[in-house]
Amino acid sequence: MTDFLLDLNDVQRQAVRATEGPVMVLAGAGSGKTRVITYRIAWLIKNGYASAKNILALTFTNKAAGEMRHRVDVLLQQGSAGGLWIGTFHSIFARLLRNDIHLLGYDRNFSIFDADDSKSLIRQSMGELNISPDSVPLNTLQGIISRAKNSFILPEEFRRSAGDYNQQIAAKVYDLYTRKLRENNALDFDDLLIKPLELFREHPMVLEALQDTFRYLLIDEYQDTNKAQYLAAKMLSAKHRNIFVVGDDAQSIYSWRGADISNILNFQDDYTDALTFKLVENYRSTGTILQAANSVIRNNLRQIKKELVSHRSAGDPLTLIEARNERHEAEKIGEYIHSIRIEKGYEFRSFAVFYRTNAQSRVLEDLMRQNRIPYKIFGSVSFYKRKEIKDAVAYLRFLLNDRDSESLLRIINFPPRKIGETSIGKLREFAEAEGITLYEAITRADEGQFQSRLVNSLKGFSSLIEALRLLAETGTVYAVLTELFSLTSIPLLLKEENTAESLARHENLQELLSMARDFSDNNPDQGSLGDFLETISLASNYDESQDSDNYVSLMTVHASKGLEFPVVFITGLEERLFPLNCYEPEQLEEERRLFYVAMTRAQEKIFLSWAQTRYLYGQPQYCLKSMFISEIDSSIVKTESGTVLADRKERQGTRNAVPESGGYRQRPAGAVSAPSQKPRESGLREGSTVHHAVFGQGTVLDVQGRGAGQKALIRFRNAGEKTLMVQYANLRVL
């Protein structure tokens, strides 16, 4: 049996052989965690510790479950793993519920409602409770209820603890929605996690039988478990205590969907006799990449300390790209891809470009097309194919061509105007009878036999279109789109919905607005609405994959988890973008973990890029370089000119040293000493106390320049020293 484990390293082997009692394996990026889980399953079966049917292995994706099962089959030479319970939490728990859910008053042939089914039932509940979607958006309620379920908060408890208005409304809907699910003999996706907990609590004999069956419990990606999953695992393993969890707290990046990092951080508090094994030997990345990742993640306070070590050579230093704006950033990335392909013979598939938000993909996509670089968007669809973008563009198309019935039907209820299919059918009949277009029928709706409510809705719609069309005759594309968003409140509605999906859609619309501003600024003489729409049409018709699997991968950092690429570009490394609007220490630490995940996807080379200005909400904004860049060991980062960042900092530090109390303090690069108390046109002066909406209270150390280019170096109490563009910073002098 010893030969069976020869291809494992020492720590992996020890973890596999620790067969009794609680075990935690902290598996750093690229350290072979899947191998440890599969070898442990095979070890238990081969050595007679348990038969396959006595082992339960839980994962988070069907892909991971399939890969594990295949590996176990290979190790056991097929067949021996028959009866092994391995799958996602949801699939395994659904299987368990089929046997015993009748004890909770459901039939065994219960339905599982998907997100759309769930949404429809919540909508019915809102209707019966006379709750208007205008008061609380349906998606908001669905999100609140889902988070409550994942935290195993049932309707009665949720009602008692409901705080703000949205939660109080959600409490009413949650209660009725739960009753309606039971009436339909149905469970939603979240119920697959909480119904087993209810079953275990109300019928302990069921739990005891499962505990006797599953003598060994293994959980992959333990850092991603939520409270319901944590409780289920604890209850199932309580009798034999053979719980084996594998994960990495440094890669916990899903708190927004319910993951609780404290589950892995507190594992040894839950199981004081637990054995812990740290897998730190990385088989993916060069030593330099791991040195960079280690230097960043050690800044987190809530973590289990470990340092990744490379199985490979040191490799190339990281390269810092400093761009004027987001377009310049994308251009540089394209240039590097071409030059590296020539120099090293890499295929396009060797490159990945990461960004923090989906909206950032737009400029990157544009430049990839212009430079004939094949690409594919992962984890999302191409920018111009996203629903909210197609909806907004349909408005613009219809302004130019009111015979475009496809665009008309797309926008007539965006945002909702309560113009249903029946009303549209009657409008079609009216148009055909009069021999006019569908839009003409809308403008002449008062001539038809329609209800006054419908006539008023149609008049409001046509008035909007005519106002925008008038503006389009003389105004810029940016002006038209700004007015559209203002009159319809589409972005505002998405922002107020406050779900992960709605906020991403809001960001995409703001990026479209930025694109329109950029287009208008760069095409003052021929930037017509038609030209703008032609640009979008050509872009949206681009064949991303080029009928090949050889393409550059574009994705958010979240979508990159579990993947690896020889060359990685991490873009948009600016304050308030990456890290993204962090106001709490816990949020900042998760952003840092996200950056750590991005870096540890790279095998050979990392490029870090940031832009000095970036369009935001259609306006150019001055950007501050991300704090994460400064957290990387500067001796392993080079500028594009080849200068080691540590050397540049040392030279700049010497040049900018100024006397202070008999010694020296260092000014950041670019800061220029100004005469004390010299007033500036903004009213700022050295020594002023100011307040910033994000960074709080601070003291002005230096002011440089005048007018639109004026910058201020400020030391904030809680955020440290920041250099801000005064015209964008909205500083209040105290």
Give the residue numbers annotated as catalytic, written as ranges: 33-34, 220-221, 251, 601
- φ and ψ of 49, to 5 deg: -70, -30
Tokens coding 351: 């490159």
618 marked as part of a ligand binding site: no
Integer CA distances (angstroms), 88 to 64, 200, 218, 663, in order = 9, 19, 12, 61
**Count of CA atoms in the C-beta half-sphere (13 A) of 734:** 10
CB 296 within 8 Å of CB 592? yes
CB 36 within 8 Å of CB 45? no
Q: What is the DSSP string of 333-361?
A: HHHHHHHHHHHH---GGGEEEEESSGGGH
500 marked as part of a ligand binding site: no
27 marked as part of a ligand binding site: yes
Distance CA 94, CA 101 (A): 10
Distance CA 608, CA 316 (A): 13
Cross-strand partners of 125: none
639-649: buried (b, 16+ CB within 10 Å) or exposed (e) per residue? eeeeeebeebb
31 marked as part of a ligand binding site: yes
Q: What is the DSSP string of 602-631?
A: EEEEEEEEEESEEEETTEEEE--B-HHHHH
539 marked as part of a ligand binding site: no
172 marked as part of a ligand binding site: no
Tokens coding 153: 């908060």
CB 624 within 8 Å of CB 575? yes
Distance CA 40, CA 100 (A): 30
Q: What is the DSSP string of 500-560?
A: HHHHHHHHHHHHHHHHHHHHHHH-TTT--HHHHHHHHHHHHT--TTTTSS--EEEEEHHHH
What does DSSP assign to residue 564? -
CB 227 within 8 Å of CB 151? yes
Q: What is the DSSP string of 355-395?
A: ESSGGGHHHHHHHHHHTT--EEEESS--GGGSHHHHHHHHH
Please report, as a single letter, which amino acid is at residue 698: G
Tell me which residue of 595, 601, 515 sits closest to 564, measured CA to CA. Answer: 601
Tell me which residue of 49, 50, 54, 56 sits closest to 85, measured CA to CA. Answer: 56
33 marked as part of a ligand binding site: yes
Tell me which residue of 347, 337, 489, 352 sits closest to 414, measured CA to CA. Answer: 489
Give me the helix-helix angle, 227-236 and 89-100, nearest 10°. Answer: 60
Integer CA distances (angstroms), 591 to 136, 296, 581, in order = 29, 11, 10
CB 274 within 8 Å of CB 20? no
Please report, as a single letter, which amino acid is at residue 223: Q
- The bridge status of strand 602-611 relative to strand 275-279 is unpaired
What does DSSP assign to residue 707? G
CB 554 within 8 Å of CB 361? yes
CB 365 within 8 Å of CB 389? no
3-state secondary structure of 421: helix
Is the Cα torsion angle 330, 332, 334, 340 positive or negative in sign?
negative
What radius of gyration, in Å, describes the C-alpha atoms of the chain?
A: 29
709 marked as part of a ligand binding site: no
Distance CA 289, CA 311 (A): 12
Distance CA 47, CA 33 (A): 21
Binding site per annotation, positions for ATP: 27-34
Binding residues, by number, are 27-34
